[in-house]
Amino acid sequence: MKAVAFNGSARPKGNTARAVEIVFGELKKEGIDGELVNIGGKPLAGCTGCNKCKANKDMKCALKDDGMNSYIEKMASADAIIIASPVYYGNVTASVKALIERCGQVARANDSFLRHKIGAPVVAVRRAGSNFTYAAINFFFGIMEMPIATSSYWNMTLARDPGEIENDAEGIKTFENLGKNIAWLMKKTRG
């Protein structure tokens, strides 16, 4: 079994990436591999509404030059999908929004191939907007018919500069428990 995590931060070693590492640490203890894919900080267009994915039904987005199709392939081959985002102006980053729009449209055009894969959001926030961001990611999992893994608190860390997550003991515990719960759900539903 395999988990993939998409990090929408432009900082590959920021708080969001570290939060995913903590989740992956728990998955590893259960023999589950994790792949972290950094999608932030590079051009990633939103959906153009061209509907070519619905016409072609080839598991691909018609915008082929920004790597989105490789992200779609990674989603298709994973059992669990983590979408991780720092809060930017009270919501997900633009990169995560583009991922949701285009992978979502391609999935719906292709027999909803995300159905029954496990989803989990991961959020890093300095101060405000984490609940909304957490919910925005869960709305995606909801419409994709994906069971959502939860934790002992909502999956977020209060941190600003890279590394500040290490001062947030409750956040770290939350991500550890999230990893344990993703593994539990994977074994129950995907084993």
Ligand X SMILES: Cc1cc2nc3c(=O)[nH]c(=O)nc-3n(C[C@H](O)[C@H](O)[C@H](O)COP(=O)(O)O)c2cc1C
Q: Could you list the residues that contact ligand X (CB under 6 A)?
A: 9, 11, 14-16, 86-90, 124-129, 159-160, 162
Min. distance of Cβ 127 from ligand X in angstroms? 4
Closest to ligand X by CB, 119 or 129: 129
Least separation in angstroms between CB 184 and ligand X: 26
CB 162, min distance to ligand X, A: 5
With the C-alpha atoms ordered 67, 62, 141, 31, is the resulting torsion angle positive or negative? negative
The residue type of 171 is: G
Rounded to a whole number of angstroms, the minimum distance from the CB of residue 132 to ligand X is 9
Query: CA distances (Å), 180 to each of 1, 43, 120, 174, in order?
Result: 14, 34, 12, 10
- Of 82 and 124, nearer to ligand X (C-beta) is 124
- Cα within 13 Å of Cα(54), Cβ side: 8
Could you give phi then psi for residue 153, rounded to 5 degrees?
-150, 170
Q: In this structure, what token pair is assigned to residue 3?
A: 């988990």
- Beta-carbon contacts of 55 under 8 Å, excluding residues fewer than 6 positions away, are none
φ, ψ dihedrals at 50, nearest 5°: -75, -20
123 strand-pairing partners: 85, 156
Question: To the nearest whole angstrom, how small is the minimum distance from the Cβ of residue 164 to ligand X?
Answer: 7
Select 30 or 164, whichever has its Cβ closest to ligand X. 164
Shortest Å distance, C-beta 14 to ligand X? 2
Give the integer Cα–Cα distance in Å for 163 and 57: 42
Angle of CA points 5, 9, 12, to nearest 5°: 80
Question: Is 67 or 163 the residue whose CB approaches ligand X more closely?
Answer: 163
- Residue whose C-beta lies closest to ligand X: 14
CB of 86 or CB of 179, closer to ligand X: 86
In this complex, which beta carbon is closest to ligand X, that of residue 62 or of residue 94? Answer: 94
